[in-house]
Structure 1
Amino acid sequence: MDKKSTEPAKDLSPDGRSSIHGFTHHAEDILPDREPYGPPGVRGLIANPFVLMCAACSTLGGLTFGYDQGVVSVILVMDQFLERFPEVNSGFWKGLMTAMIELGALIGAFNQGWIADKISRRYSIIVAVCIFTIGSVLQTASVDYAMLTVARLIGGVGIGMLSMVAPLYISEISPPECRGTLLVMEELFIVLGIVIAYWITYGTRYMAGEWAWRLPFLLQLIPGFILVAGVIMLPFSPRWLVAKGREEEALHSLSRLRQLPTSDKRVRQELLDIKAEVRFHQQLNAEKHPTLQGGGLKNAVLLDLACWADCFQKGCWRRTHIGVMMMFFQQVSNEDMTNPWKKLTTVGSLLESMLSSITRLRCSKPWD
């Protein structure tokens, strides 16, 4: 059980839960003799290459996000691009076109929570890639400023969905010993995508004709196609399967992820922990939002909005504050605020990053 001297005394109920300021918390019993799956950190990844492959496929979402961020910064100064889109010479229209992807990412991250709960993390990744592919194709084929701006908005929706669901999926399939290492991979892939975009645009900017900027837009389809192909081989999240009442499938999925038989004690113990956490989370939602438990699309969307509001209530606001400020300072340190026209892009990027961070916190375990 978590022990915090600064918290008031808690009244534990028979089922191991406590109530503080109207919020119910889980009293987690951590077994000191629990047998780990393997070594922590990078050594744990080597011990389970299947999980590493699953995480690598998921982090391609971060690669696409970073690639788009990097490719636009160079394309904007290409003479071939400015000849096709003279509106970009104006500071306002340049900032608006650049910020469209951040606005789309804001919309995508905001809606991905209930979509991932409804159709699974796995299928929601496919939906995100399809939306991103449509946006990329339209960007490649753009003939005027309006088409390019709308294309970037559509592509941004897909990127926002990927930036939210990819780390969520990674956290739910990862062994406890190397979960943090796998989550760091997304940030690594974002930076890697930016570097790749810089080198590609460096090579294409000297090409004659419009393919100097169309080709970099077209190449961003490649990681999306690889991601879709990889998702076909990925298992469903065990936590999502348990939440849908498919416990036998969850056991086999967990067994596949851990490369251990279903009879293994560690697999059985982890499945038991997942079941306890999911049931607690469902009961907590039922107690806090009893009128939204009927099922259906309407209730799913309303429940998702209610869970967003819960992030800012007493008992959870400190965790939300930490997540928001971490993403805030990360974006501020990466942006050039000396350019007044880039401020529009920076604000959109800040909002998308903070929203994605809150979404991950909302989907995490209630006692984390």
Structure 2
Amino acid sequence: MADRKPQNNGFSGQTQTHIPALDPPQKPKRNKYAFACAILASMTSILLGYDGGVMSGAALFIKDDLKISDVQLEVLMGIMSLYSLLGCYAAGRTSDWVGRRHTIVIAAAIFFVGAILMGFATNYAFLMVGRFVAGIGVGYALLIAPVYTAEVSPAASRGFLTSFPEVFINAGVLLGYVSNYAFSKLPLYLGWRLMLGIGAIPSLLLAMGVLAMPESPRWLVLQGRLGDAKRVLDKTSDSKEEAQLRLADIKEAAGIPEECNDDVVPVPKRSHGEGVWKEIVLHPTPTVLHILIAGVGIHFFQQASGIDAVVLYSPKIFEKAGITSKSDKLLATVGVGFTKTIFILVATFLLDRVGRRPLLLSSVGGMILSLAGLAVSLTIIDHSEKKVSWAVALAITTVLSFVGTFSIGMGPIAWVYSSEIFPLRLRAQGTSIGTAMNRLISGTISMTFISLYKAISIGGAFFLFMGVAIVSWVFFYTLLPETQGRTLEEMQVLFGTFFKWRSTLRELEKNKKIRDNDNSNGQIQLGTTTDS
């Protein structure tokens, strides 16, 4: 071989070749094309983050301007999450029919219309119509961003790239908070309308930017367009060899013979997603059932631990902590958005280094401690006639630590994990079920938080969220296997044994070591010569 160099091994007349396979593995470079695709696709998530952030402040002005009750305000705040369920369901089918890329354009277009309607709303009913339309767009965006990014990413950097949707959710939250503060000085009737309406701008830019993206290679294979898929994989893989391996794995998962290399080939009848619901919900195999429980469970616990209560109602929490000025409350929320954004950026670099499980379990542990501190401090503030400075400081600190620990693990990993574990043909619609659960719980908490803390006190509400977080830690520890570094087509072997997945993983690692040793021994024999 051309890259083998003779080396003297200390014995006369004998040389030994340099074996590249035995050298320490080189850290793969980030694929810039895949990176750019992930950035563009993930920008759809700004739509969700912006709405969550901007509504936390706009609600203060909407209530005063439209003279609505607390119940109406709760419904207004949380209803978009329930409306987005329709978008999630539709996006699963749409992405299988017209492709991942065009589904992103649809998401941006729908949200653009919704933002315009909210910005021009003249009354509560008109505003709810705008929330409905924007909610459909958010549902589309929530599903398609992680699915597309997972399918276009090389295995070595999939965690890093698939965490981008959560990065942009947090960036959107921060933009929403900044928008609140920037427009808070305007006249009452104008300020909140600009806060909501300006969300149309990023959706318009996104729709134009998506035109530069390629289609998902896995969707192209499902349509039998192998030539197009190969060209995308060549650009988004770290090497030609990896592109060939990825294509072979995808073909196998899609039921296309390995020897078939035509540009366009016949595909199974159900290539557009028909019958998938029966396979996922009605007659799942043990593997699919385990995947479904893991994918839906991680989304349930992500929202049930109370993140949207903190993001949407942070001004209320700061008010309870003793910050009374509207301007000061909005400025404090900017600190929440900034903290979330910083910690999610840290998480993107840890996902492919530390792994999903260690980061997730550490994150939830930090959330439990933060919720405990927040609950205790708010309870003390509620029951004290005088201002308790240390309790106020603890409340503000634990709000920031909660959103920080959430963003470094639970936030991004829910999207990364659920988008990578479903088999190829089930991925879009399987992920839509997890996303629907996410939005259902988000909407439920957002629409009931004011009533909840009035019923059991605000400290009691966060004690409840702490209990949920403890249960989630146990769930993740017992049922979720590590997926770091595995191709999307390898995921199925990790699932199906439920609580016994560790035994399955040990067996897989044992078999892998045997294969690696056999390969290394074969290369050493081929690479050694004598008396040359």
Instruction: Establish whether TM, by shorter chain, passes 0.5.
Output: yes
**Does 2:48 match 1:62?**
no
* Alpha-carbon distance in structure 2 between the residues aligned to 1:112 and 1:356: 18
Map of 2:182 onto structure 1: 203
* Alpha-carbon distance in structure 1 between the residues aligned to 2:237 and 2:415: 31
Q: What is the deviation of 1:268?
A: 2.1
Structure 1 residue runs of 4+, over 4 Å off?
299-302, 310-313, 354-360
* Alpha-carbon distance in structure 1 between the residues aligned to 2:415 and 2:208: 28
Letter in 2 for 1:332: A
Q: Per residue, is there more helix in 1 or in 2? A: 2
- Give the superposed CA RMSD: 3.2
Q: Structure 1: any 5+ residue segments left out of the alignment?
A: 1-32, 282-292, 343-353
Cα contact 1:67–1:194 (8 A) shared by 2: yes
Greater Rg over alpha carbons, structure: 2
Question: Counterpart of 1:200 in 2: which secondary structure?
Answer: helix
Q: What is the deviation of 1:294?
A: 5.2
Letter in 1 for 2:302: Q
Map of 1:336 onto structure 2: 309
**Does 2:175 match 1:175?**
no
Question: Counterpart of 1:188 in 2: which secondary structure?
Answer: helix
User: Deviation digits for residues 112-134 of structure 1, max 9, x if unmatched?
Assistant: 11210100000011111111111
Cα contact 2:280–2:292 (8 A) shared by 1: no
Letter in 1 for 2:292: T
**2:298 alignment partner, one of 326, 345, 349:** 326
Letter in 2 for 1:179: R
Cα contact 1:242–1:278 (8 A) shared by 2: yes
Map of 2:530 onto structure 1: none
**1:110 alignment partner, one of 51, 71, 89:** 89
* Alpha-carbon distance in structure 1 between the residues aligned to 2:252 and 2:269: 22
**1:134 alignment partner, one of 113, 128, 134:** 113
Q: What is the deviation of 1:212?
A: 0.7
* Alpha-carbon distance in structure 2 between the residues aligned to 1:355 and 1:109: 14
Cα contact 1:109–1:355 (8 A) shared by 2: no
Map of 2:250 onto structure 1: 274
**1:316 alignment partner, one of 272, 276, 288:** 288
**Does 2:278 match 1:306?**
yes
Question: Counterpart of 1:109 in 2: which secondary structure?
Answer: helix
Q: What is the deviation of 1:320?
A: 2.0
Q: How does 1:36-51 map to 2 (within 5 A)?
A: 39=27, 44=29, 47-51=30-34
Map of 1:265 onto structure 2: 241
C-alpha distance 304-147 of structure 1, shift in aligned 2 (>3 A)? farther
* Alpha-carbon distance in structure 1 between the residues aligned to 2:189 and 2:269: 54
User: Deviation digits for residues 80-114 of structure 1, max 9, x if unmatched?
Assistant: x335422x3x1221122222211111111122112
In the alignment of these two chains, the number of paired residues is 295
Q: What is the deviation of 1:312?
A: 5.9
TM-score (norm 2): 0.51
User: Deviation digits for residues 153-173 of structure 1, max 9, x if unmatched?
Assistant: 111111111111110000111
Letter in 1 for 2:63: L
**2:136 alignment partner, one of 134, 138, 157:** 157
Among all aligned residue pairs of Structure 1 and Structure 2, give the percentage whose two residues are the same amino acid: 27
User: Deviation digits for residues 226-269 of structure 1, max 9, x if unmatched?
Assistant: 22122100001111111101111111122233486xxx333222
TM-score (norm 1): 0.71
Q: Structure 2: any 5+ residue segments left out of the alignment?
A: 1-20, 258-267, 317-413, 428-487, 495-532
Q: What is the deviation of 1:310?
A: 5.1
**Does 2:55 match 1:72?**
yes
Letter in 2 for 1:190: I
* Alpha-carbon distance in structure 2 between the residues aligned to 1:301 and 1:268: 25
Map of 2:63 onto structure 1: 82
Q: How does 1:217-366 map to 2 (within 5 A)?
A: 217-258=196-237, 264-279=240-255, 303-309=275-281, 314-333=286-305, 334-336=307-309, 361=422, 362-363=426-427, 365=489
Map of 1:96 onto structure 2: 75
Question: Counterpart of 1:224 in 2: which secondary structure?
Answer: helix
Cα contact 1:136–1:217 (8 A) shared by 2: yes
C-alpha distance 357-214 of structure 1, shift in aligned 2 (>3 A)? farther
Q: What is the deviation of 1:197?
A: 0.7
User: Deviation digits for residues 171-196 of structure 1, max 9, x if unmatched?
Assistant: 11101100011111211221221112
* Alpha-carbon distance in structure 2 between the residues aligned to 1:265 and 1:358: 27
